[in-house]
Amino acid sequence: MIYISTKIIQSWLYPATCVLCGAPGDADLDLCRGCRQDAPLNQHACRRCALPLNAPLPAHGLCGNCMRQPPPYHAGFALLRYSSPASDLIRDLKFHARLENARLLGSWMADTIAARSAPLPQLLIPVPLHRSRQRQRGFNQALELARPLARRLHIPIDARLARRLRNTAAQTELNAAARRANVRHAFALSAALPVRHVAIVDDVVTTGHTVAELAALLQRHGAQVIEVWCAARAAP
Ligand SMILES: [Zn+2]
Ligand SMILES: [Zn+2]
């Protein structure tokens, strides 16, 4: 019997193609080698909140904010810095339904995370959209990013556990003080948390208030290790 993996069949049917320039993809990603080399990887970053930092990092690996007031999550991973082309990929994903961008970013995140030695979380929790925004957009970009992560890292997703209670204003339209107030009590859990180690998945983290609010809720429900994984990290 000839065994052909579904991965091989998929690569025949849908050869990897760079979403930025259309050249053949490299290493099973929809990104060519050149565009990959030019991408603004967030290599030097706070290990807790993934804030971009200048090399060399301090020995503790933390930014000033996390030293003074640690957020209610324990580790942060951001694949890219939020500049072009990461910002273009995410904008086109959200506002032009370019779901292939989520496949690329989620797969690339997974490949990077798979190389680490620390234990993986037991559950992925995409930051939920309010149902009216989800209906309007037709999808949740955080869930679309979580799908390839789940597939490649073999971690289940629960996209129903956390609910967004209020249709909050877009964080980018608000100043720093208003951003924190905007997301306060924005989430609720619809069931008991079944595991202790989770990762929150989001497209972009800017101030971190949104993921901190969700992390604090998960912590109150028994989460002991909370990670935040995002495609791109902006400096607020
Ligand atoms: Zn390219
Ligand atoms: Zn930090």
Per-residue pLDDT, 11: 60
Q: Do 27 and 108 share a domain, yes or no? A: no
Number of other residues whose CB lies within 10 A of the CB of residue 119: 8
Q: What is the pLDDT of residue 181?
A: 77
- Same domain flag for 15 and 79: no
Is the pTM for the entire model greater than 0.85?
Answer: yes
Per-residue pLDDT of the chain (236 residues; tens, 9 = 90+): 456 666 566 666 677 899 999 999 988 899 999 999 999 999 999 999 999 998 888 889 999 999 999 999 999 999 999 999 999 999 999 999 999 999 999 999 999 999 999 999 999 999 999 999 999 999 999 999 999 999 999 999 999 999 999 887 666 667 777 777 778 889 999 999 999 999 999 999 998 999 999 999 999 999 999 999 999 999 87
Q: What is the CATH number of the domain that holds 171?
A: 3.40.50
Closest CA relative to residue 231, chosen from 34, 14, 42, 21: 42
**Parent domain of 176:** 40-233
Residues 182 and 158 in one domain: yes
Nearest Cα to Cα of residue 227 among 65, 116, 103 = 116
Q: Which residues surround ligand 2, an ion (CB under 5 A)?
A: 46, 48-49, 51, 63, 66
- CA–centroid distance, 204 to ligand 1, in Å, is 22
**Is 213 in the same domain as 97?**
yes
Q: Which ligand is nearest to the CA of 57?
A: 2
Give the C-alpha distances (Å, rounded to integers) separating 149 from 33, 108, 115, 231: 21, 9, 13, 11
Can you give the pLDDT at residue 169? 66
The total of structural domains in the chain comes to 2
Cα distance between residue 103 and residue 149, in whole Å:
9
Query: With contact defined as beta carbons under 8 Å apart, do 126 and 140 qualify?
Result: yes
| Residues 86 and 29 both lie in one domain | no
Q: What's the 142 CA to ligand 1 centre distance in angstroms? A: 24
Q: What is the pLDDT of residue 180?
A: 74
208 shares its domain with 103: yes
H/E run at residue 201: strand 197-205
